[in-house]
Amino acid sequence: MIRLRPFVQITALALLAAAAGPAAAQVPNIGQVFPPGGQAGTTTTVTIGGGNLQGATQLLASGSGVEYKITKNTDGGTIPLEVSIAKDAPPGLRELRVVTPRGTSNAGRIWVGSYPELAEKEPNNVLSANQKLESLPVTLNGQVNGAEDVDVYTFEANAGETFVFDLVAVRMASPLDGYLSLTDARGKSLGFAQEAFDRDPRIIHKFAKSGTYAVHVRDTLFRNGAPYVYKLTVGKVPVITGYLPRGGKRGQMVTVQVEGVNLDGMQTVSVPMERETNTVVPSASAGPVLTPLVLSASASDVAVEAEPNDTAEQATPISALPVVIDGRIDKPGDIDVFRIKPTAAGTFSFNLQGRRIGSRIDSLIRVLDAAGKQLQENDDADGKDSRFNMGVEANKEYLVQVRTLDQNHGPEAFYRLEIEPPAGQDFRLTVTPDELNVGQGSSIAVTVNVARRGGFGGPIPLRIENLPEGVTASPAFVPQGQNNATFTLTAAPNANPGALGQVKIIGVASIAGANVEREAQGIEIYKQPLAADNQNSQRTVEILTATVMPQQAYSLDIEPRAITVKKGQTVEIKIKATRQASATQAIAITVAGQPGNVTPTATPVPEKQNEVVLKIAVAANAPTVTQNLIITGNLNNNNQVAPALTLTITD
C-alpha cells in the first residue's frame, strides 16, 4: 500500500519493465475519476479510469486537506485510491495527475463536499424503477453512462419545506451538460433547470404538499459515457443565492448582505479582506452553505448601488473617486445609474467585471454628461465585460449607466464596476500545453501567450525553473510588441524516464525602471459540446509539470541552434534525424514562427536518411529582431519538433 501526499514523490508500485520504444511511450490518460470526490471528514474509495496508468510513480494533487493511497497494483486502465479528506478540508475542486515513466497525465478532478455521499445504483432510468433516497440531505455520485441514460431519484418532502437540487459537473470539468427536472410521484412536472455548456443547473423548490417526489438527471443532448460524472446534492441544505458587496477595501472588515434559502435568518456575514481573494463558507443549522462567498480585496473604497436608481434623478451618488461599485441587474430592463463628480481633471478607467467573476451579465457601460448627452460607451472589451478609459474634467458631474444586453437578471447578474485611474503597465502570462511530456533525446514546443496592460509593449525574457534532471530549455523570450512566443524543452538521450519537475515559467520585464515578475498560468485546451472543429475552449490548471518519456520513434536536432543573419542574406541550417529501426519513412519538415519577410525552404528528410538542409532567406526589408523558429517533422503522422532555432536579424 502506497501513501501519496500532494506534490510528494512516492516509491513506484511497479516500474515499466519493457525497453523504451514507440509503443511504450504512450502517456497516461485520465478519462474519469469515480466517485468524483467525497465528504469532508470521511475516507472513501475512488477509482481513476483511463489508459496507460500502469507503473504509477507519483500522484500529484492540488489544494490541501486531502490524502491519497494507491491500494493495490493496477492494470493500465484503472488506479484504485483510498481518499482521506480532513474534516476542515476546504470545499470544492482538487486537481489530480498521474505520473508514470511514460509521462504525466492530463488533469483529473475530484470535488470535496460538505454532506453525506451516496453512489448511484442502476437501474434507475425511469420513475417506476428509481433509486429511493432514504436519508437527506445527501450528495449523489452518478454517471450518465448509457444510451439516453436518465438517473431518477425519489425522496419524501413535507409541505412548506424548501429543497435545493444542486448539480456539480462543469465545475469539475465533466463533459456532462446537466439537465435537472423535478416531478411528483405520478411524473407531473414541477420544474426544470438547464444551463449553457459553461454552467451547472440548480433547482430551488418549496413543496406545497407532503409526499413523494422525484428528481431526474440527464445530459441535455443525451450524450453519455464513463467521463459524464456528476455530484447532485439534494435536501433542505442552505444556499446563498446572492450577495453584495462582492468585495471590500484591502485590510478592512466587510459586512456582506446575503440572501438565499434555509439560512435560518442569516442576513449578513462579516469577512476580513486579508488576501486578494477571500473565501468563506458560512453555516446554518442544516450545515455549511453549498456556495462559498468569494470576495475580492481592492485598493479603493467600495460602494453598493441603492435601488431605485434607474434614472438620472434617482442616480446613486458616489461621494469620492477612485471607487469600486458593487451592483446587480435586478429585473428585466433594469438600468443602474451612478452620479460621479471628479475633484480633479484626469483620465479614469471604467472597468466592469462580470463574466470574469462568474456573473451572468452581458454588460454595457455608458457615460453621459449631466444633460444626458452620451460621451462614451462600450459593450465587449474583455469577453462580455465592458471597459474603456475616458478623460474627465474637475468638478463636473457625469452619469454612469450599467445595463445588460440580454434578459439575465437577479442575484446572478451581479457586477463590480471599477472607476479608477488607469492601471499601470503590466502583463499576464499563460502557457500551453498543460502536459509537458518530452521523450529522451527529443524536444517539445511550449507556447507562452501575453496579455499586455496599460500600454506595456516591452520585451519579456522568460525564466524556466524546476525542470527535470536532463531537460533543458531553449532561449525563451517574448519579443517587444508581440503577444506570444514559443520555446522548446529538450531531454538528453540518457535522461531518466519518469523524471519530473514542477515547472515554473516566469516572465521578467523592466517597467518604469523596476523588474516586474509574473508567473505563467497553465491552460488546458478542450472542446465544448457542439463546438466546431476549430472552436476550442480554455480553462486554467493548477499543476504544471515537465516529465521525461522514453525515446520516441525518431527525434530531430539542428545545427546550429542559434544564428545571426544580416538582412538580404540566406543561411543554411542542418536538420539531423535520429531514427529507431522501424522509423525509415521520409520525414516531412515544416517551419513556424518566422518573422515577416523571412522565407524558410524546407525539404523532407529522405527515406532511410538522417540529414537535410533547411534554407532561410532573410529579405532586405525583414525586421531587426531575435525570434525563435520551430521546426517540426512528420513521419507517418508522428510529429516531433527540433530544439528551437533562435534567429537574430541585423542590419
User: What CATH number corresponds to the domain at position 463?
Assistant: 2.60.40.10
Residue 63 shares a structural domain with residue 131 = no
Residue 220 shares a structural domain with residue 231 = yes
pLDDT surpassing 60 at residue 1: no
Residue 639: other Cβ atoms inside 10 A? 11
- 454 backbone dihedrals φ, ψ, rounded to 5°: 65, 25
Mark which of 374, 397, 420 sits at the end of a domain.
420
Of all residues in the chain, the percent with pLDDT exceeding 70 is 96
Residue 49: other Cβ atoms inside 10 A? 17
Q: Rounded to whole angstroms, how far apart are CA atoms 17 and 118?
A: 39
| pLDDT at position 25 | 52
Mark which of 524, 549, 574 sits at the end of a domain.
549
**Exposure of 518 in the CB half-sphere (CA atoms within 13 A):** 23
| pLDDT at position 12 | 28
pTM of the model: 0.90
Q: What share of the chain is helix, strand, coil (3-state, %, to 5)?
A: 0, 55, 45
Residue type at position 557: D
Residue 283 shares a structural domain with residue 328 = no
Q: Rounded to whole angstroms, how far apart are CA atoms 471 and 474?
A: 10
Task: Encode pLDDT of 462-513 as tens digits.
Answer: 999 999 999 999 999 999 999 999 999 999 999 999 999 999 999 999 999 9
| pLDDT at position 168 | 97
* Domain range for 432: 426-549
Query: Which residue's C-alpha cell is 474534516?
Result: 87
Q: Rounded to whole angstroms, how far apart are CA atoms 243 and 256?
A: 7
Query: Which of 133-147, 151-165, 192-206, 390-404 has the weakest average pLDDT?
Result: 192-206
Q: What is the mean pLDDT of residues 58-74?
A: 88
Residue 204 shares a structural domain with residue 243 = no
- 26 backbone dihedrals φ, ψ, rounded to 5°: -70, 130
Per-residue pLDDT band at 527 (split at 50, 70, 90): confident
pLDDT surpassing 60 at residue 22: no
Mean pLDDT for all residues in the chain? 93
pLDDT surpassing 80 at residue 630: yes
| Angle, CA 39 vertex, CA 36 and CA 45 arms, to 5° | 55
pLDDT surpassing 70 at residue 11: no
Residue 572 shares a structural domain with residue 619 = yes
Q: Are 176 and 141 in contact (CB under 8 A)?
A: no
Q: Rounded to whole angstroms, how far apart are CA atoms 174 and 33?
A: 10
CATH number at residue 326: 2.60.120.380
Residue 44: other Cβ atoms inside 10 A? 17
Residue 432 shares a structural domain with residue 537 = yes
Query: Which residue's C-alpha cell is 440580454?
Result: 406
| pLDDT at position 73 | 64
| pLDDT at position 324 | 98
Residue 135 shares a structural domain with residue 98 = no
Top pLDDT among 6 and 188 is at 188
- Bridge partner residues of 559 (DSSP): 574
Task: Encode pLDDT of 146-195 as tens digits.
Answer: 889 999 999 999 999 999 999 999 999 999 999 999 999 999 999 999 98
Contacts of 105 (CB under 8 A, 6+ apart): 27, 28, 29, 30, 50, 53, 97, 98, 99, 435
Q: Are 542 and 561 in contact (CB under 8 A)?
A: no
| Angle, CA 517 vertex, CA 512 and CA 521 arms, to 5° | 135
Task: Encode pLDDT of 255-287 as tens digits.
Answer: 999 999 999 999 999 999 999 999 999 999 999
Residue 29 shares a structural domain with residue 54 = yes
Let me know if 490 is exposed, middle or buried by CB neighbors in 10 A (0-12, 13-18, 19+). Answer: buried
Residue type at position 467: L
Residue 187 shares a structural domain with residue 217 = yes
Residue 107 shares a structural domain with residue 150 = no
pLDDT surpassing 60 at residue 584: yes
pLDDT surpassing 60 at residue 9: no
- 40 backbone dihedrals φ, ψ, rounded to 5°: -60, 135
Query: Per the structure, how many domains does the chain have?
Result: 6
| pLDDT at position 423 | 84
pLDDT surpassing 90 at residue 407: no
Mark which of 549, 565, 583 sits at the end of a domain.
549
**Segments of 394-493 assigned E as strands:** 398-404, 414-420, 426-432, 435-439, 443-453, 460-465, 471-473, 477-478, 484-491
Q: Rounded to whole angstroms, how far apart are CA atoms 414 and 360?
A: 7
Per-residue pLDDT band at 75 (split at 50, 70, 90): confident
Residue 308 shares a structural domain with residue 294 = no
- 180 backbone dihedrals φ, ψ, rounded to 5°: -110, 140
> Nearest to residue 370, comparing CAs of 342, 405, 402?
342
Residue 126 shares a structural domain with residue 209 = yes
pLDDT surpassing 60 at residue 8: no
Residue type at position 570: T
pLDDT surpassing 70 at residue 7: no
